Structure 1
Amino acid sequence: MKREEILLVYDHECPACHAYCQVIRIRDSVGDLRIVDAREDNAVMEEITSQGLDIDQGMVLKMGGQLYYGADAIHALALIGSRSGLFNRMNYWMFKSKTAAFILYPMLRFCRSILLKLLGKTKINNLNIEGNDKF
């Protein structure tokens, strides 16, 4: 039986996002996690864009044919995540509550925006929003 492929789509050029995606683990019983760079042209980015989701405002988790965006994505990752290792346990305890995820995620997104601005990175701008090329 083929295991479900779960996609985590994020900005590979963001050091904080990249570090998070390198250490996050999901339970083996859930499926196989595949990390996808949102800056690459691929089918899942086309799907994200067609749904009107701004990848600059949140990561996307695709699981079971459904897209989870931003706080929903980090909450879902906490629920399916492995509890092995300090980081994964902390991730679970911080984001297992949907309310906590919705409170904390905007703060993380704000810190990400500042970091990318300091690094001189451009936005992905998958929705082609005017004036949306810099953080």
Structure 2
Amino acid sequence: MEEYQNGIWFVYDGDCPICRMAAHALKIKEEYGALNLLNAREAEGTALLAEINKRKFDLDEGMVIYVDGQFYHGKSALKFMARFGDKKGLFNWFTQSLFWSDTLARLLYPLMRGCRNLLIRLNGSGKIRNLEDPS
């Protein structure tokens, strides 16, 4: 996974309007390195997606952030965003305000995931199903 060693990698669902907005609005504090975006629907065959699958991170249940050999999935990814996000911008302020606390993240994340699932259904996209056997 040498190609994924530099910066922070944000793996998201490009068919989800909320996920897409989050991916493009997130700004990471400069000292933590560059933010690299990877649409999970276009990532088939990549080493990073293979590692995500190996670790059983379901991309239909949440996005993944990978940095310095560490993986953050779902609400832990949101907590990472709250902790390391730049304070500039409405999205970053929103993330930091809502997900700084484990309790708030635990309560609000299922609601956000439900909204994502509804939007995916409404726009006619299916699930990513990254953990299913292709055969």
Length-normalised TM-score, structure 1: 0.89
CA contact (8 A) 1:4 1:30 kept: no
CA distance in 2, matches of 1:87, 1:66: 24
Pairwise CA distance, 1:129? 6.7
Distance 1:35 1:123 in 2: 19
Q: CA deviation digits over 1:26-56, x for unaligned, max 9? A: 1001111101111122111100000111111
**Using the alignment, how far apart are the partners of 1:105 and 1:94 within structure 2?**
10
How far apart are the structure 2 equivalents of 1:115 and 1:126? 19
Give me the whole-angstrom Cα distance separating, in 2, the residues matched to 1:57 and 1:129: 17
**Which 4+ stretches in 1 moved above 3 angstroms?**
none
Q: Which has the higher contact order (CA 8 A, sep 6+)?
A: 2
Match of 1:37 in 2: 39
Q: Which residue of 2 aligns with 1:96?
A: 100
Q: Which residue of 2 aligns with 1:16?
A: 18
Give the secondary-structure state (helix, strand or coil) at the position aligned to 1:55: coil
Backbone CA RMSD of aligned residues:
1.6
Cα distance in 1 for residues equivalent to 2:77 and 2:18: 16
Q: Deviations over 1:57-108 (max 9, x none)?
A: 1100101201101000000111000001222112111111122112111110
Contact 2:22 2:91 in 1 (8 A): no
Distance (whole Å) between structure 2 residues aligned to residue 63 and residue 103 of structure 1 = 25
The amino acid across from 1:17 in the alignment is C
8 Å CA contact retained: 1:54, 1:127: yes
Q: Distance in 2 between matches of 1:36 and 1:84?
A: 22
Structure-1 separation of matches of 2:124 and 2:133:
19
Question: What amino acid is aligned across from residue 91 of structure 2 in structure 1?
Answer: F
Aligned length: 128
Q: Percent of pairs identical after alignment?
A: 38
Q: Which amino acid aligns with 1:63?
A: V
| Paired residue type of 1:49 | N
Please give the alpha-carbon distance, in whole angstroms, between the structure 1 residues aligned to 2:86 and 2:131: 33
Q: Which runs of 5+ in 1 are unaligned?
A: 131-135
8 Å Cα contact 1:6-1:61 kept in structure 2: yes
Residue 79 of structure 1 is aligned with which of 50, 75, 83? Answer: 83
